[in-house]
Amino acid sequence: MSTPTLNPRILGRAENAHRALLEHLLAGTGLAYQRWVALTLVAVSDQARDLDVLDRLVSALKIDQRAARAVIADLTAAGLLSLSGGELRLSVAGRSLYDRIRTAADGTVADLYRDIPDGDLEVTGRVLTQITARADAKLEALKQEPAKTAASS
């Protein structure tokens, strides 16, 4: 069996498999994927400024500011985040939930990547980082173009 070359289908299948595992871990927690990403961004930030988290959430999820604000508002209303002086922080309940899911997710990822040589993981990381940067740049360029309609094409 030959080794397949990285392509969108392989990349998509890997992303979908990872996400399905994460969503299984999130089931019953009250967290959907977007809420998990937001909780993670706050958890890993030294000083989680409200606007910084919003900008990173917009970038990570490719959503608009309004949608990002709604995610943060949902987490705050659920008592998982608190906002004070422009800083977002995990509440005690938010930290407990985050730590529980993060531990389970880290164990799952360790199982998935076990026995894959470190060099292969490093190359894959570099390649995927480069592809992501290019895709982000392409998306920004497309957003700057005037809207194209089927009628004008």
Q: Does domain 8-116 have CATH number 3.10.20.90?
A: no
Residue 151 has a pLDDT of 47
pLDDT tens for each residue of 62-76: 999 999 999 999 999
DSSP state of 46: S
Residues of the chain with pLDDT under 50: 150-151
Q: Rounded to the nearest 10 degrees, how much is the dihedral formed by the CA atoms of 133, 24, 53, 78?
A: 160
- DSSP 3-state helix, strand, coil percentages of the chain (rounded to 5)? 70, 5, 25
Query: Are 72 and 89 in contact, with CB atoms under 8 Å apart?
Result: no
The two counts, helices (H) then strands (E), for the chain are 6, 3
Which pTM does this prediction carry? 0.85
Could you tell me the two tokens for 34?
Answer: 């977007």
pLDDT tens for each residue of 19-35: 999 999 999 998 999 99
Residue 12 has a pLDDT of 94
Helix, strand or coil, per DSSP, at residue 81: strand
Q: Rounded to the nearest 10 degrees, how much is the dihedral formed by the CA atoms of 21, 25, 26, 32?
A: -10
